[in-house]
């Protein structure tokens, strides 16, 4: 199961959701007509009592289904439609688009406040070029495919192994490593006072604070001095 999906299920569990049904989205399912989805999937298979949707919810092949169609078939399939009012602050609707905008501009504190939790990335630790270890700051390199990413830079973080409750504080660099002429975006996490082998382990990394944007340094000594400053900032 995909790491991002597991993360979503874990977050739903924290909200006391009893169970989650996962439907594999393939070519055959994508061609399902909206009326077939209502009658077969909702009416015969799931038999829900209430369905919560937003006003702009669309479903079915080519997004042909809408909320009005769901309402029209409510009596026939014995369910009621609930349309919650969207959450908003200062007349701004809290949407995934707004969160992405804040993330990509380095406004992590706003994202964490709106989520009511720390924005996080879960992924498997992969073996990298060990550049951090060579300059005295060993890092866990984490696969970040499929994630909506925050602004490249250095962050104060805390991390734990998946299914563990013990967090370890640290700093993370999310970016391209311009000092080493990197071309691929990476998440590298340096954990404070930690020693051990994390290769192929799955970590959950909570982003606590944006420290600075990514920067190219003239030499390794300048980079090391800045990393030490970043560590002091992360520990505050």
Pick the CATH number of 118-235 from 2.60.40.2700, 2.40.30.30, 2.40.340.10, 2.40.30.20: 2.40.30.30
* pLDDT (tens place) for every residue of the chain, 236 residues total: 577 788 888 889 888 999 999 998 999 999 999 999 999 999 999 999 999 998 889 999 999 999 999 999 999 999 999 998 888 888 888 988 999 999 999 999 999 999 999 999 999 998 877 778 888 899 999 988 778 789 999 999 999 998 888 999 999 999 888 777 777 888 999 999 998 889 889 999 999 999 999 999 999 999 999 999 999 999 98
List every span in the chain annotated with CATH 2.40.30.30.
118-235
C-alpha–C-alpha distance, residues 140 and 138, integer Å: 7
Report CA dihedral (135, 137, 142, 148) to the nearest 10 degrees: -100
> Residue 207 burial by CB count (10 A; 0-12/13-18/19+): exposed, middle or buried?
buried
pTM: 0.82
């Amino acid at each position: 199961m995909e790491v991002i999906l597991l993360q979503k299920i874990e977050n739903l569990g924290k909200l006391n959701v009893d169970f989650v049904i996962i439907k594999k989205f393939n070519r055959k399912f994508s061609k399902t007509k909206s009326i077939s989805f209502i009658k077969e999937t909702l009416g015969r298979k799931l038999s829900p009592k209430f369905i919560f949707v937003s006003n702009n919810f669309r479903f079915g092949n080519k997004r042909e289904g809408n909320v009005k169609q769901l309402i029209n078939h409510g009596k026939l399939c014995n369910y009621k439609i609930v349309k919650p009012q969207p959450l908003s602050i200062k007349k701004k609707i809290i949407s995934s688009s707004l969160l992405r905008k804040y993330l990509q501009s380095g406004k992590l504190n706003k994202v964490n406040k709106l989520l009511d939790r720390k924005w996080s990335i879960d992924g498997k630790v992969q073996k990298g070029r060990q550049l951090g270890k060579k300059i005295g700051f060993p890092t866990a390199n984490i696969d970040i495919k499929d994630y909506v990413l925050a602004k490249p830079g250095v962050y104060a973080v805390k991390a734990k192994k998946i299914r563990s409750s013990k967090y370890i504080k640290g700093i993370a660099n999310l970016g391209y490593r311009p000092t080493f002429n990197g071309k691929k975006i990476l998440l590298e996490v340096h954990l404070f006072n930690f020693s051990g082998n994390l290769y192929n382990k799955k970590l959950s990394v909570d982003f606590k604070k944006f420290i600075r944007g990514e920067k190219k340094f003239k030499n390794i000594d300048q980079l090391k001095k800045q990393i030490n400053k970043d560590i002091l900032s992360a520990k505050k």
